[in-house]
Amino acid sequence: MATDITFEQVNYWYQSGTPFAVQALKDINLAIQPGSFTAVIGQTGSGKSTLIQHLNALLKPTSGQVKVGEQIIDHETKNKHLKPLRKKVGIVFQFPENQLFEETVIKDIAFGPQNFGMDEAQATKLAGQIAGLVGLDASLLNRSPFDLSGGQMRRVAIAGVLALEPEVLVLDEPTAGLDPRGRLDVMNLVTKLQRQQHLTIVLITHQMDDVANYADQVLVMANGELAKQGTPREIFSDSDWLTSHQLGLPSATKFAVKLEQVGFSFDPMPLTEDELADQLAPQLSKGGSDHG
Amino acid sequence: MDKFMFGRFIPGNSWVHRMDPRAKLVLCFLYIAVVFFANDFWTYLVMTLLLLVSVFATKIPLGVFIRGLMPLFWLMIFTVLIQVFFGVGGHVYWHWGWLVLSQNGINSAGLILMRFVLIILISTILTFATQPLEIADGIESLLSPLRKLHFPVATLALMLSLALRFVPTLMDEAEKIMNAQRSRGVDFGEGGLRQRIKTIVPILIPLFVNAFNRAIDISTAMEARGYQDGENRTKYRQLKWQRIDTISFAVYAVCLGGVIALRYLS
């Protein structure tokens, strides 16, 4: 069963009806295909986190509607009917290690499935499998989550969301504050899940390299509006526009732009190291023979 | 929590916003004390006019103040009903069993309601128009005579300003943790009492653990910046008594003095 997500004319006001009212989302229209990898980028405070909280109805649109699969969420949707949606869409929040609370790692991972009605034995078994999937050593499972290192706690928290077996996995800066190794591990895990379990991934990130390497679709948020929507190639083709929105280019593209200034030419602009290397190799050998 | 206005600060640059926090604190306390002296139409009229003048001096719309009263609406109704039906004495209009509707009952209910509203509104003026840290500074300054009694005023003030500073941070954090647990299938505010208490655990434990970690981080950062103890420190924010404070004091003194005079001279 495919879960496609569409936003129709979604507006969201924080604290609407008070002097503190702030409009965080303005007239958002977008579509996310099942099984796709969508990256959401934008400056801090541009509405990215507000946007993703609409995906499992933690926030409901002030006007307009969000459709997730068959479910329609609008201003009047009651909290009662949201539980199936919460199981379908799993959200890993920023610094998810702050949500751990159980006595042991395994109990914490099994907490989610039990809330959705799975019995304890089955949930524990599932938790063990998921722990393996995110690369947690079996010896850690009966330790307290508060004894673990920051990176391990992050994995436990991600496992806790994966244990819901969601169809859509939403991650809000999952690699923030991790070391380079931890970052790579988390990103590899995400892509592996997308490929093997056909999950729809929505990723908020400030790492343009991750966007270039993994995403099929990019949403650029600016001041609560959806400023641009397209493939990474479309988005990164206009570097002046990105700079004006305080966003950067992937490092491979940045390097290619510098190389163009000294006489190399690229078509299309490379987004990843591999693409850069592929285009650079023939030019280098040609250059070598010119001089030779 | 979105609509909860009571006790919040609304930025602005009005007469009341610019006043010295000490003046505002003292005037607020004096006003509350004098509310209990008011006992008839004229005294309440003076109190109400003084309050309305203060409300308009904040330049914050009256509707916002009214909304600040809303969370306490049921409490007010409850107290009024109790007063109305259990007050005895005076002319009896109606009675049914032990429920009596008497003149004294109605009078005292009106009195209580008036006091309730006035006290809440005057403290709302204080919190709407004064930054929490200014309130902390004001309290510290007002408590400073207690130093002579070896009361640790500086330590208390530090704790107060740290606590105030972290109220919004902790609220944000609680909200984030709640959202994260909601995403993991926790239903807050549903089911019976036992069920509800059980759903508090996944919020409270992370909140406490984070508060401990934060306390350790803050104390380390404070030590690294040369903090030793509360005494013998200079202050960055200096409180300054201005002319508007003196004028406000004069206005309040006249009105509040008038209320007391009306009560005892008539």
pLDDT surpassing 70 at residue B143 = yes
DSSP state of A140: G
CATH code of residue A52 = 3.40.50.300
Q: Quick one: A100 and A21 in the same domain?
A: yes
Q: Which residue of B has its CA nearest to A98?
A: B206
Kindly determine whether residue B184 and residue A96, on different chains, have CB atoms separated by under 8 Å.
no
**Does A90 map to a domain?**
yes
**Does A292 map to a domain?**
no
Q: Quick one: A140 and A275 in the same domain?
A: no
Give the domain range for residue A277: 250-286
Question: Do residues A47 and A27 touch, judged by C-beta distance below 8 A?
Answer: no
Question: Do residues B194 and A123 touch, judged by C-beta distance below 8 A?
Answer: no
**Residue ranges with strand state E in chain A:** 5-14, 22-32, 37-42, 63-68, 71-73, 89-92, 168-172, 200-204, 217-222, 225-230
Question: For the residues B17-26, what does the mean pLDDT come to?
Answer: 92
What would the pLDDT profile of B165-176 be if each residue is shown by its tens digit?
Answer: 888 889 889 999
Question: How far B209 CA sits from the closest chain A CA (Å)?
Answer: 9
Which of A87, A101, A112 minimises the CB distance to B206?
A: A101
Q: Where are the domains of chain B?
A: 15-265
Q: How many CB atoms lie within 10 A of CB B241?
A: 12
Q: In DSSP terms, which residues pair with A217 in a beta bridge? A: A38
Q: Quick one: A84 and A178 in the same domain?
A: yes
Q: Quick one: A256 and A240 in the same domain?
A: no
pLDDT range class, residue B246, cuts 50, 70, 90: very high
The chain-wide mean pLDDT, for chain A, equals 89
Q: Quick one: A155 and A207 in the same domain?
A: yes
Q: Quick one: A177 and A277 in the same domain?
A: no
Complex ipTM: 0.87
What would the pLDDT profile of B38-53 be if each residue is shown by its tens digit?
Answer: 888 889 999 999 999 9
Core vs surface per residue A206-226: b (16+ CB within 10 A) or e? bbbbbbbbbbebbbbbbebbb
Q: Which residue of A has its CA nearest to B173?
A: A98
Q: Quick one: A123 and A255 in the same domain?
A: no
Q: Quick one: A175 and A276 in the same domain?
A: no
Q: Quick one: A269 and A182 in the same domain?
A: no
Q: Which residue of A has its CA nearest to B208?
A: A101
Q: Quick one: A42 and A98 in the same domain?
A: yes
pLDDT range class, residue A149, cuts 50, 70, 90: confident
Q: Quick one: A172 and A257 in the same domain?
A: no
**Does A291 map to a domain?**
no
What would the pLDDT profile of A207-264 be if each residue is shown by its tens digit?
Answer: 999 999 999 999 999 999 999 999 999 999 888 899 888 888 999 998 998 998 888 8
The number of distinct structural domains making up chain A is 2
**Residue ranges with strand state E in A185-245:** 200-204, 217-222, 225-230
Which residues of A fall below an 8 Å CB-CB distance to B? 14-19, 53, 56, 58, 79, 83, 86-87, 90-91, 93-94, 96, 98-101, 111-112, 115-116, 146, 160-161, 164
When mean pLDDT is compared across A93-102, A283-292, B173-182, the lowest value belongs to A283-292
Q: Calculate helix-pair angle for B21-35, B41-57, nearest 10 degrees.
A: 160
Q: Quick one: A97 and A53 in the same domain?
A: yes
pTM: 0.79
Query: CB contact, 8 Å: B187 with chain A?
Result: yes
List of residues 6+ apart from A53 with CB closer than 8 A? A59, A91, B179
Give residue B82's identity as a one-letter amino acid code: I
pLDDT surpassing 60 at residue A73 = yes
Which of A14, A16, A161 minimises the CB distance to B184?
A: A161
